[in-house]
């Protein structure tokens, strides 16, 4: 009986340690996401671009070019949608959204690394100067105990009458005028 009780206590301690590790990962992810959001609010897109994950095999020139592209596209996006007026963490809503996304690397890179396809997301409801209801969804991957952004999405509710037109405008702005 005493052995069974000790075993049970051991299992509870292991579960508590595991829960603490999971909770600290969640807290570090949220802190990282909030730090990135703060950079966006302060128009510091260049530093924000450094939060993204880029392929390890990039040389310095390619890394700077990719970071510059992300930084420029974030600037173009917020120039069009306006400054963030309010933003709050949110569970992912049930409504449908159209996503416009940015990320480091390219499709062949991500395809060749299926271990990086397990993302954790941070979701924020956002109101900008020109858009009253949208989401910012940040998908993170954990690389060597660091949370890095796999992709950043600005999402527009499909119930918005001009949702498709706005999504097309934003996509054209980000990918036609400034190709990666």
Reported as a single tens digit per residue, the pLDDT across 107-144 is 788 788 877 776 789 999 999 999 999 999 999 988 88
Which pLDDT score is estimated for 3? 43
Q: Is the pLDDT of residue 16 over 80?
A: no
Task: Count the Cβ atoms, other than its own, within 10 Å of residue 114.
Answer: 8
Distance between CA atoms of 175 and 1, rounded to whole angstroms?
67
pLDDT at 177: 58
Say if residue 101's pLDDT is above 60. Answer: yes
Do 124 and 87 form a contact (C-beta atoms < 8 A)?
Answer: yes
Q: What is the mean pLDDT of the chain?
A: 83
Which domains are assigned to the chain?
Answer: 2-175 (3.10.450)
Q: Binning pLDDT at 50, 70 and 90, where does residue 23 land?
A: very low
- List pLDDT tens digits, range 51-60: 999 988 899 9
Q: Which residue has the higher pLDDT, 179 or 162?
A: 162
Question: Could you tell me the pTM of the whole model?
Answer: 0.81
Give residue 143's pLDDT. 84
């Amino acid at each position: 009986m005493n052995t069974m009780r000790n075993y049970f206590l051991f299992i509870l301690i292991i579960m508590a340690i595991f829960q603490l590790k999971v909770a600290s990962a969640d807290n570090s992810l949220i802190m990282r996401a909030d730090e990135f959001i703060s950079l966006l609010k302060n128009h510091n897109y260049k530093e924000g671009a450094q939060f993204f994950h880029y392929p390890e095999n990039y040389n310095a020139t390619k890394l700077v070019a990719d970071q510059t592209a992300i930084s420029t596209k974030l600037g173009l996006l917020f120039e069009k949608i306006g400054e963030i007026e309010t933003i709050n963490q949110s569970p992912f809503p049930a409504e449908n959204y159209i996503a416009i996304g940015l990320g480091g690397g390219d499709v062949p890179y991500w395809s060749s690394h299926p271990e990086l396809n397990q993302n954790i997301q941070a979701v924020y409801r956002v109101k900008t100067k020109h858009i009253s209801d949208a989401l910012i969804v940040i998908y993170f991957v954990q690389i060597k105990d660091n949370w890095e952004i796999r992709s950043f999405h600005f999402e527009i509710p499909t119930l918005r009458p001009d949702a498709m037109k706005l999504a097309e405008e934003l996509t054209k702005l980000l990918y036609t005028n400034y190709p990666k």
